[in-house]
Amino acid sequence: MRNFRHLSISEDDIEDVRLELERFRRAAIVETTERAVRVVEQQQQDFLSPEYATGQPMASFQERFACGQIIEALRTNAHLKDNGHDA
């Protein structure tokens, strides 16, 4: 770690800033993930529409299944990052 003593910044102050930045990072991960999940959930609903599903019911099912997998992966990834692990 760099020495900031010449700037009259204590190690405690530096640690406080680091912890605050970490809190903001975690909050940004959660917020961004939830936004992405909402987008994928909307897309999942769109695949139920008669316009999409008529004539291609298996494709509709596959797309909705894929959306479910994406949602699960997003939430799992955010969970891991939120606990300080990089995925």
3-state secondary structure 2-34: CCCHHHCCCHHHHHHHHHHHHHHHHHHHHHHHH
Question: In the chain, where are the structural domains located?
Answer: 9-82
Task: Please determine, for residue 2, whether its predicted confidence score (pLDDT) is greater than 60.
Answer: yes
pTM for this prediction: 0.70
Helices 57-82/11-46 angle, 10° precision: 170
Other C-beta atoms within 10 Å of 74: how many? 18
Task: Please determine, for residue 21, whether its predicted confidence score (pLDDT) is greater than 50.
Answer: yes
Tokens of 38: 């909402």
Residue 48 vs residue 7, higher pLDDT? 48
Provide the 3-class DSSP secondary structure of residue 84: coil
Cα–Cα distance, 61 to 43 (Å, whole number): 12
